[in-house]
Each structure stands twice: as C-alpha cells, then as structure tokens.
Structure 1
Amino acid sequence: MSERSAAFTACFDRGLQQFRAGEYAEAHETWEVGWKTTTGGEKQLLQALIMWTTALHHVRRGNQVGADKLMAAALARLAAPEVPPAPYPLEPLREVLRASAAEVAAGRAHAPAWPT
C-alpha cells in the first residue's frame, strides 16, 4: 500500500468530520478541493465521495434520475482497483454506499452513517 499524500489526508479527514456531522454540502466542497489536487486512486476515492454527497443532495431536491446516476457512478468509482484504502478497510464503506444507494433508489432522503 502506498503512503497517502498530505493533500489527500488533510481533505479526507476534514470532509469526514463534516460528513459525520451531517454537513454533506460542506464535505462535498472539502473533498472537491482535495480532488483537484490529488491524482490516481486518491482522486478516484474522493470523486466517489463527492458523487455520493451530490446524490444525497439530488434525492432531497427530488431529482431522482440524477441521484440514481450519481449513486451508480459512485459505487463504480469506489470499486475501481486503483482506489487506495481509506484510513480503514474500504469494504465497510462500500457496504454503506450500497445501502445508501438502495435508499436513494427508493427516493428516500436519509442520513447515512459513516462506517466505524
């Protein structure tokens, strides 16, 4: 496993704090800053998280088609082999995303819990 870049670590950690506080728009913005400054698998992981928070926003605003597309894209991006492990194993995050995708597909706004 390669070492995470400082840019990735800083934005991932801050975005995670915001996400856990239910501040999804803020987490999106934080992760987007990191996405612009990282490369490779780090960039892909952040992109998946950005897509997820955007999908949550879309379902709350009634844009079901956009929400479904973004959830599918987030899951696909997170499944990419070059995505580095987050500061913990990725499978729990994938499970949360799959459960969140089911809620989104049902048109339900929800507050997903970050895996522990």
Structure 2
Amino acid sequence: MNLADDPRFPQALELFNSGAWYEAHDAFEEIWHEQMDPDRKLIQAIVQIAVAHVHLERGNTRGATILLGEGIGRLKPSLPSALGLDLTALYTAVADRLNALQSDADPEVLPPPRLLAAE
C-alpha cells in the first residue's frame, strides 16, 4: 500500500501536529516498521523528532538534543519534500529548536515543528 493511501498516515500527522508527541511516536513507529527506504528513513526521522519532544516534555534536554540531531540527519536526504509533506519547513523548525538547545536557550519559545502539506 502506498503510504499516502494508508489511513493511519493522516491520523499520525494529526497527532504530530497537535503536539501529542508520544502518541505520534507510536503511530509513526507502527507505520515505520512496514516501510522500505527511502520512506523508511523519513518516517524514522519523524519518529525521532517526536521522541525528542517527549524528552523535552520530561526535561531531558540531552536526549532531546541527540534525537533532534539524528532526526535532522535522516530528514535531510528527503528535502525539500516527500510523501506530500513540506520537509523544508519541518527541517527549519527542528534545526531552530536544536540550535536553541545547543545554545542553552529554551526551545519551547520557538514554534513547534509541524508536518504541513507541500505546495
């Protein structure tokens, strides 16, 4: 099944975009297990970004920093878009939050990453 046709995909997007990070992680991880590259690496990046935000919610800035960095690394080959998503916007939001963490600033003052439709 094409990922864009998978009914779980829009549900996972909704969870991510609403900031339900743990639930988004679970939803995307279920999808990730069934994918082949390059979609598999992209979904893994999204899972890592969601888990990074779970770490942020729990005050684990080190874990969040590591996972945001890994997520960006896996996201980069899919830029600017894939699966109908604007990955450049996602990359920018995640990179801004990662830079804030690396500068000992509060990443939560920045807009959260969102999975938006590519134009």
- Report TM bin, short chain: 0.7 to 0.9
- Partner deviation per Cα, 1:29-51 (whole Å, 9 max, x = no partner): 00000000111011111110110
Q: How many residues align?
A: 113
Structure 1 residue ranges without an equivalent (≥5) = none
| Cα root mean square deviation, aligned | 2.8
Structure 2 residue ranges without an equivalent (≥5) = none
The yes-or-no answer on 1:46 pairing with 2:43 is yes
- Partner deviation per Cα, 1:80-116 (whole Å, 9 max, x = no partner): 2599713133212211221232344436363614154
Overall identity of the aligned pairs, in % = 23
Where 2:94 maps in the other structure, the secondary structure is helix
1:102 matched residue in structure 2: 99
- Of the structure 1 ranges 93-102 and 74-83, higher mean CA displacement relative to structure 2 is found in 74-83
Under a length normalisation based on structure 2, what TM-score does the superposition of the two structures give?
Answer: 0.77
Decide which of 64, 88, 91 is 2:88's aligned counterpart.
91
1:114 matched residue in structure 2: 114
1:78–1:94 contact (8 Å) kept in structure 2: yes
Matched AA of 1:78: L
What is the CA–CA distance in structure 2 between the aligned matches of 1:23 and 1:14, rounded to whole Å? 11
Under a length normalisation based on structure 1, what TM-score does the superposition of the two structures give?
Answer: 0.78
Where 1:80 maps in the other structure, the secondary structure is helix
